[in-house]
Amino acid sequence: EAQVTQNPRYLITVTGKKLTVTCSQNMNHEYMSWYRQDPGLGLRQIYYSMNVEVTDKGDVPEGYKVSRKEKRNFPLILESPSPNQTSLYFCASSPRTDPGELFFGEGSRLTVL
């Protein structure tokens, strides 16, 4: 089944404890992206990648890191999480580098205490 898989789906952590949210797609898509969804703010892009080893900032990259060492994986790293990073995170992929349809994962709900 074609899908975008995120882990963990739910996580509660404390300020300053490094964490990684993994994202993997099995559709051989070129483009991958991370969004955060907050009430009243919609979906805001954090980082995106058009190919292996090619990443670029979205609109809200502060406090996040990403890497794209393999085509299928695009982990989101929070080096020192803070409470304002409490959010619902979505990974998405697209077969095109000028993305048409985005295929989203089911989301990862992160709480930073």
Binding residues for other proteins, rule: CB under 8 A, are 4, 31, 33, 35, 40-45, 48, 50, 56, 58-59, 90, 92, 97-102, 104-107
* Greatest alpha-carbon span in the chain: 38
Shortest Å distance, C-beta 18 to other proteins: 25
- Structure tokens given for 81: 């999480």
Nearer to other proteins, 75 or 105 (CB): 105
Closer to other proteins by CB, 55 or 79: give it. 55
**Closest distance to other proteins from the beta carbon of 61 (Å):** 12
Ranges assigned E (strand) in the chain = 4-7, 10-13, 19-25, 31-38, 42-51, 54-57, 65-66, 76-78, 87-94, 103-104, 108-112
Q: Shortest Cβ distance from residue 40 to other proteins (Å)?
A: 6
User: In whole angstroms, how close is the CB of 75 to other proteins at the nearest point?
Assistant: 17
Q: Which is nearer to other proteins, 14 or 60 (CB)?
A: 60
CA of 58: how far to CAs of 1, 50, 111, in Å?
29, 12, 22
Pick the closer one to other proteins by CB: 6 or 85: 6
Using only the alpha carbons of the chain, give its radius of gyration.
Answer: 13
